[in-house]
Chain A
Amino acid sequence: MPTSPSSMINQYKFEDESELRDLFITVDDPESHITAIETFITYRVVTKTSRSEFDSSEYEVRRRYQDFLWLKSKLEEAHPTLIIPPLPEKFIMKGMVERFSEEFIETRRKALHKFLNRIADHPTLTFNEDFKIFLTAQAWELSSHKKQGPGLLSRMGQTVRAVASSVRGGVKNRPEMFTEVNDYMETFSQKINVLDKIAHRIYKEEREYFNEMKEYGPIHTLWSASEEDIADSLKGVASCIDKCCKATEKRMAGLSENLLPIIHEYVLYSEILMGVLKRRDQIQGELDSKVDALANKKAEKDLITEEIGKLEDKVECANNALKADWDRWKQNMQYDMRSAFTNVAENNLRYYEEAHNLTRNHSC
């Protein structure tokens, strides 16, 4: 797990540098499975790669949401202070969307696709063994692999210890830098949540507007039926309104395809980042409590000193990993936000330009 900061810097990859990619993943083809106990959806995961670690250059497997959850927890376990990309939520209550509605499945599919690609683009996570197994193993192979590894109990034990140590330390000796990150994330988290609400509200308003516009054009056509002299003018207005209506539908779709998913992803990211900072603090806390123990106990000094040495390494690695990943995350965030909002502006621009031309041509 420990990697030096310098090697990580060399492996910086941004989403748009697809020429450097050697791993291509798609998530598609949702399928419903009905058993006696449950109904669930599987997605097809296709991987194309030129990497030598992979036995083949192409893989096709089917995975369900549970499998993605497993992968995420394995990655978190292996890299506690790296920023693991978010998974779509289990079940969204706020939107009036049914669990297996087409809209819900499609939104989830896109998010799962994003999830795997973000991992593939991550300089460290892309080489994770569980990730490779996830992409390549057949269903039964994956099940048996899942059963191996640290059991639930040992994981629980870790958590208990972590909680205990976090109560005592971690925050006290936290490097200045991470306090800054923490403060930043608190504000960012607030703002991104508000943005999420605003973006959804805009979508809703645009949809309501579209629904009313659909009715507006046809009335003019109806009116033209009782007129002679102005019938053509009225029909022209009707046609113009109908065309503008279609343009507004495009604008609406653009919002739902681009801005809404990105903002939502960063809402989830802000939760993840708070978790990563906590885990870093926990690791620090372990070290701090051992240092305190050294001060109190006169006996076992050598043993404790040795443990402290190991923990100091652990803390240094954790800090370095997080710092590098944090810088990378910020760069990606800036890129994602810039392109998402620019896209929104372009959609609106396109809409107004189209509406302008349509109306001008009609009134000539």
Chain B
Amino acid sequence: MLHKSLFSSSKKMEDCLSKKIEITVSEAEKRTGRNAMNMQETYTAYLIETRAVESQNEGQCSPVDSLWRRYSEFELLRNYLLVIYPHIVVPPLPEKRADFVWHKLSADNMDPDFVERRRIGLENFLLRVASHPVLCQDNIFYSFLTQEGGWKEMVNETGFQLKADSRLKALNATFRVKNPDKRFTELKHYSDELQSVISHLLRVRARVADRLYGVYKVHGNYGRVFSEWSAIEKEMGDGLQSAGHHMDVYAASIDDILEEEEHYADQLKEYLFYAEALRAVCRKHELMQYDLEMAAQDLTSKKQQCEELATGTVRTFSLKGMTSKLFGQETPEQREAKIKVLEEQIQEGEEQLKSKNLEGRDFVKSAWADIERFKEQKNHDLKEALISYAVMQISMCKKGIQVWTNAKECFSKM
């Protein structure tokens, strides 16, 4: 399969999980159960199979472990990874609902073709995580693959939801950062462009697919008419009949062609969603920067307050200063107490600022390393995808040449 071959060629993967175990999402099954509100629901469960790689090399057939997971559990895993590794461009899941469909494809989540493509997408997701130098070492991820019962509880026990920054989800909220990191601004801009252009491409591709389907299928109408017409013709009959057969073949050929193209569309979709993951990292950096600036600002104002109280000068207007002027000064003891509190806060603040700065620099360093890794992966994958698309087109043309050569021969015998 296309995806697996990509992973075996990736570089820094000596320790990666994907080298040690083989992961497949091999089956999909319809289930019915009761949801949290005790209402009956239908969902699809996916079978994850894992097998140790080493013993295979020795010629032994190692046992296959397997467990069932549903889409919502994959989502939970990903949300966990997003929170715990905010500096990583976390691989995306296949789409929740069928989007960019052309008319023949069903937009129904229960449609077998959609389920099949999702199965492949989920397998791809697991392989991506397993071959990521950082993510593959995560325990929760490993348990997701190997521990059927109690996994959900384990994830929730990590308390990752508490660590989640709700501001990350608020996409429209803007945080004015005074000194933005130019690289991240550019990257965010790029991720927006990537998302926009791939969406556009997928939309037009779906329309082109629709039209191509129409052209091929309409030729299928020839078959029956030719056959009926051939019944009244003596000399033309054979030519018409056999030409009609080739038109049927032509019309039928589009189904496989477009199904293959759907995989290409899925490859593009993966990077459409990757663009979101990229933006999330930029966003996280933006928020960290914002928090840093706010903390620095807060520290500065506290120091100022302290100085004012100590020297008795009011440099800046404050309501407190005014009221104390109007209603009388505080007692020296009160002032001392205040100064002491402030000094404690200032010290805390300085420590926090120091650690925030360190955090920020670490974040930038590790985020940028992953971004470089991602860029390389993206360029490689997209180049391959474009090549495979060209190969598909060539194959389609070859089929067309064959059918029309045959048809031409039949027509010339009419």
Contact = CB atoms under 8 A, between A and B. Distances in A.
B394 interface: yes
Contacts of A233: 382-383, 386-387
A206 B215 contact: yes
Interface in A181-228: 184, 187-188, 191, 194-195, 198, 201-202, 205-206, 208-209, 211-213, 215-216, 219-220, 222-223, 226
Interface in A221-262: 222-223, 226, 229-230, 233-234, 237, 240, 244
A341 B214 contact: no
Interface residues of A, number: 49
B201 interface: yes
B394 A342 contact: no
Contacts of A222: 197, 200
B211 A205 contact: yes
A99 B274 CA distance: 54
Contact of A195 (B198, B212, B225): B225
B391 interface: yes
A160 interface: no
A349 B197 contact: no
Contacts of B194: 226
A124 interface: no
Interface stretch (B108-116, B135-143, B177-185, B401-409): B401-409
Contacts of B408: 342, 345-346, 349
A338 B197 CA distance: 47
A355 interface: yes
A356 B396 CA distance: 8
Contacts of B411: 338, 341-342, 344-345
B204 A359 contact: no
Interface stretch (B83-91, B156-164, B227-235, B331-339): B227-235
B53 interface: no
B389 interface: yes
B398 interface: yes
A184 B237 CA distance: 13
Chain B residues touching A, majority SS: helix
Interface in B335-382: 375, 379, 382
Interface string A347-362: 0110111011001101
Contacts of B387: 233, 363
B397 interface: yes
Residue of A191, A234, A353 with most chain B CB atoms under a 10 A cut-off: A191
B269 to A, nearest CB: 15
Contact of B414 (A220, A234, A337, A348): A337
B393 to A, nearest CB: 5
Residue of B214, B221, B400, B404 with most chain A CB atoms under a 10 A cut-off: B404
Residue of B200, B215, B379 with most chain A CB atoms under a 10 A cut-off: B215
A360 B394 contact: yes
A230 B394 contact: no
Given A191-B225, A216-B205, A226-B190, A209 B215 contact: yes
B236 interface: yes
Given A212-B207, A219-B204, A348-B400, A202 B219 contact: yes
A191 B231 CA distance: 11
Nearest to B409: A345
Contact of B407 (A345, A351, A360): A345
B398 to A, nearest CB: 7
Contacts, number: 133
Interface string B93-118: 00000000000000000000000000
Contacts of B397: 352-353, 355-356, 359
Contacts of B76: none
Interface residues of B, number: 51
B214 A208 contact: yes
B200 A219 contact: yes
A341 to B, nearest CB: 4
A345 B222 CA distance: 13
A334 interface: yes
Contacts of B382: 230, 233
A213 B408 CA distance: 26
A350 B215 CA distance: 17
B243 interface: yes
Contact of A212 (B198, B208, B229, B386): B208
Contacts of B401: 349, 352-353, 356
A81 to B, nearest CB: 22
Interface string B118-131: 00000000000000
Nearest to B197: A223
A337 B236 contact: yes
Interface in B247-300: none
A230 B383 contact: yes
Nearest to B221: A198
Nearest to B412: A342
A348 B215 CA distance: 12
B6 interface: no
Interface string A104-145: 000000000000000000000000000000000000000000
B232 A188 contact: yes
Nearest to B236: A334
A341 B243 contact: yes
Given A233-B386, A334-B414, A342-B411, A205 B214 contact: yes
Given A201-B218, A230-B382, A230-B386, A219 B201 contact: yes
B337 to A, nearest CB: 59
A205 B218 contact: yes
A230 B268 CA distance: 14
B212 A209 contact: yes
A363 B404 contact: no
Contacts of B412: 338, 342
Interface string A326-340: 000000001001100
Contacts of B134: none
Contacts of A351: 400
Interface in A45-104: none
B390 A240 contact: yes
28 contacts: A187-B228, A195-B229, A198-B218, A198-B222, A201-B221, A209-B212, A212-B207, A213-B208, A219-B197, A219-B204, A222-B200, A226-B197, A233-B383, A337-B414, A338-B236, A344-B411, A345-B405, A345-B407, A348-B407, A349-B404, A349-B405, A351-B400, A352-B397, A353-B397, A356-B394, A356-B397, A362-B390, A363-B387
Interface of B: 190, 193-194, 197-198, 200-201, 204-205, 207-208, 210-212, 214-215, 218-219, 221-222, 225, 228-229, 231-232, 235-236, 239, 243, 375, 379, 382-383, 386-387, 389-391, 393-394, 397-398, 400-401, 404-405, 407-408, 411-412, 414
Given A202-B215, A213-B208, A244-B393, 14 more contacts: A195-B225, A205-B215, A206-B215, A212-B208, A233-B383, A237-B389, A240-B390, A334-B236, A337-B236, A349-B401, A349-B404, A352-B397, A355-B393, A359-B390
